[in-house]
Amino acid sequence: MTNRSSIFLPPDRYLGPDPAQKQIAEELYGLIANAPLVCPHGHVDPRLFSDPDYSFGTPTEMIIIPDHYIFRMLYSQGISMESLGIPRQDGGPVEQDHRKIWQTFAENFYLFRGTPTGVWLNYSFDYVFGVEQKLNGETAQAIYDQIADCLQKPAFRPRALFEQFNVEVLTTTDTATDPLEHHQAIRDSGWSGRILPTFRPDAVINLDAAGWRENIDQLGERVGYEVSSYGKFIDALENRRAFFKSMGATATDHAALTPYTNQLSPAEAEAIFQRALQGQASADDARLFTGHMLMEMARMSTEDGLVMQLHPGSLRSHNTAVFERFGVDKGGDIPIQTEYTNNLRPLLTRYGSDPRLTLILFTLDETTYGRELAPLAGHYPAVKLGPPWWFFDSLNGMDYFFHKVSETAGIYNTVGFNDDTRAFPSIPARHDVWRRATAHWVAGLHVRGIVDMEDAEAMMHDLAYNLAKQAYKFN
């Protein structure tokens, strides 16, 4: 048979087309191709690692059902969520035959032509599972069998893959009220894999979060006193941050519809908090409170040193019908225009020049890269830019990011790569795309006489490894 790699994973992939640039890119890529993976921002479930015998289940359970990148595309072409086995909120029936779901996926795999999801899946099939055929309706069941066989083997337990993938550190994302018992179990197990939590308090900070009142009660349980006032709320958050830090956390993570920030007086904050406790907070209260709490989070970061991450701009669950039937994170989150210059001014005026703060900004609005984010990062000591996020975690997204950000911010106000994924087996694929995209871009700078090879090589090491490690304080 032909070399499968020549079909869909050629060794020089993503680096071309110009031969001179490609040659330099291959040289640069070679420098860091095997560097350890630093994974400072993601959504892998820590259960994968707390149970040494954790199994991914069927290929469908591992690859399709948990991945909204995949099922949103199938849904967009009229394939129902039920037929893909996506659990309903009401517990109603959905397809249970995982081979049938896989067959549907395979027959529609052509939809992913030219998409990052297609790229990641082909990588996983090939490099992780040794699949030598192209996925389609004919090959579906054979490939299912092959992956299912793999998943029975010890080498495909999460801990074994973690080591095989050469992950140096992996962070999870955890609510403020998470007891972190899986992280504790990992520590207690004596396994050497470095899995760290990240403090994400959206569910107690955003007054309009689902179940906010219950989340506050749970927060009280965690800290051992009733969170009955704004002052106690602040105390509780500081308490939880200290706990996360004691468990190895180096960062916090914050989502908001917009990056609005504004300092309230303690009395104003207390008044809103009391309205919220009584279920009477308005939409405007929620907006003001989140804007205020982002400033408080920045303050706490200056004190405890946790790196602060902010990624605004996603209108969650745009399709209310899908949300009501299937819940959150079901592919219907749609970006909106985002404004950083005015919105972040109060926070940056107060904390942006503080050497103790690192504020990493993400965006779903690429228009802000060159207009707002790079100028902010190229001035404020605290501001760094996260890599292309979500829809832009792709070859074109990375290329655009480099072109729009690097000239004003330089690469030293960026933080390398985040894989930001729930799909653990896709992690090497995502880093491979980043490293190749980086090699291609840096090689382009070199062949056009903008940086010499000494600089190009240093930039590669920094973008592939050093910047992420430094920015997130992994020592």
Report whether the peptide linkage leading into residue 259 is cis, meaning its omega lies within 30 degrees of zero. Answer: no
- Does 64 contact its own copies by CB under 8 A? no
Name the minimum Å distance from CB 4 to its own copies: 11
Q: Using CB under 8 A as the criterion, what x/- string covers residues 443-472 for binding its own copies?
A: -xx-xxxxxx-xx--xx-------------
DSSP string, 277-315: HTT---HHHHHHHHHHHHHHHHHHHHHH--EEEEEE-EE
**Contacting its own copies within 161-180 (CB under 8 A):** none
Cβ distance to its own copies smaller for residue 10 or 231:
10
Give, to the nearest 10 degrees, the angle between helix 266-277 and helix 212-223: 110
**Contacting its own copies within 426-445 (CB under 8 A):** 444-445
Name the minimum Å distance from CB 371 to its own copies: 5
**Contacting its own copies within 270-299 (CB under 8 A):** none
The span from the CA of 426 to the CA of 419, in Å, is 9
- Does 18 contact its own copies by CB under 8 A? yes
Q: How many residues of this chain bind its own copies (CB under 8 A)?
A: 97
**Contacting its own copies within 382-411 (CB under 8 A):** 383, 391-392, 394-397, 400, 403-404, 406-411
Report in angstroms the alpha-carbon separations of 21 from 46, 93, 197, 249.
41, 54, 40, 40
Residue indicated by tokens 């996603």: 314
In degrees and rounded to multiples of 5, residue 393 shows phi and psi of -80, 75
User: 377, 415, 427, 429: which one contacts its own copies (CB under 8 A)?
Assistant: 377
Name the minimum Å distance from CB 343 to its own copies: 11
Are 374 and 385 spatial neighbours (Cβ–Cβ below 8 Å)? Answer: yes
- Does 138 contact its own copies by CB under 8 A? no
**CA-CA-CA-CA dihedral for 432, 435, 436, 440, to nearest 10:** 170
User: 3, 137, 337, 473: which one contacts its own copies (CB under 8 A)?
Assistant: 337
Report in angstroms the alpha-carbon separations of 43 from 9, 40, 47, 154, 384.
27, 10, 12, 23, 21
Cβ distance to its own copies smaller for residue 236 or 429:
429
Q: Which of 407, 410, 404, 468 is nearest to 434 (CA)?
A: 468
**Contacting its own copies within 346-365 (CB under 8 A):** 348-349, 352-353, 355, 364-365
Cβ distance to its own copies smaller for residue 155 or 450:
450
Segment interacting with its own copies (CB under 8 A) among 46-54, 58-66, 276-284, 337-345: 337-345
**Contacting its own copies within 312-331 (CB under 8 A):** 315, 318-322, 331
Q: Which of 309, 394, 348 is nearest to 112 (CA)?
A: 394
User: 379, 422, 466, 470: which one contacts its own copies (CB under 8 A)?
Assistant: 379
The span from the CA of 77 to the CA of 375, in Å, is 40
- Does 257 contact its own copies by CB under 8 A? no
Q: What six digits make up the tokens of 313?
A: 């701009």
- Does 134 contact its own copies by CB under 8 A? yes
- Does 191 contact its own copies by CB under 8 A? no
- Does 416 contact its own copies by CB under 8 A? no
